[in-house]
Structure 1
């Protein structure tokens, strides 16, 4: 009877020990579900003097904060996502001032297109003289004028490019040279340009027969 009585307390003690062991195992299993995020290498964190790692075991995601003397704290990290802002890079164009420089009129050419001639022949069979034909081309003009043998204006409503025929009066004796001067004047708000032509022709005797 005494032997069986000793075995029962031993069995009860074994059940108590197993129950306690089962509770400890369940608690350890719950704690192991925590995860830890470390912001630097584990070896460096362990070797740094005064390094302290703190783990939140019951939040689903752990947070590790590491500090070292003379350094700056890093963390916490993990969990939320950091919003990324976009920096707009505006491009501006510096306006360049461009304008047409004010300029006066220009004359490309003013020339004789057809040479004149003085009258010839005889009193019975005269040959009439021929006019002079002048032509010109100008640009950037407001007015175009022609003058003959002096400052007086013959006409001032010519186009920028054109031509005009003028009679060529001749006087003097046979063999003389008759000359006439033609002046082209172009204007605009910024200035005036002129060009002169001196045209000559030989005078012929008109014999009387």
Structure 2
């Protein structure tokens, strides 16, 4: 099984499948030494009052991700949290968790940017001022993507599978939140990709695992 050192990062969140929403410059950098350092840097934070979870463990632990994909995942687990965005964006918070991020090798030769490998699994949850704005983000994504789109209902909510060359992504809106889950291609057999990504989504949303919708 892979080793998952936690790197707690704060940086601009890069939306892969969801339209980018500008952040307010000058976010506060969080420390990298675990829960005690996080609490010291943000003593008034109350996770029960946040628009999105504050920790990746509140979505899926790295260990649970490994259980679902049923293969070892080497690399780091990275967390990016932000709750400062331009008011006009409608977004109020975002947590991105990346599992199996390739660890940089200082002795290796530089890799061309086009050949860089992304995380094995990435999960991002965003919150908005209301459910209509959240649903609008999903519609905007569907209208701008060039990927193959397959509707897939989960937990009573309509979601969508987006298939690309590098990863398979599931997106859905639930109330004021949107969820984006990406699975790197090649991590599991192609025939298992949809089953695995839907199980990841069901686990995170705490709903029964749906039966994949047959492709038309």
TM-score, structure 2 as length reference: 0.20
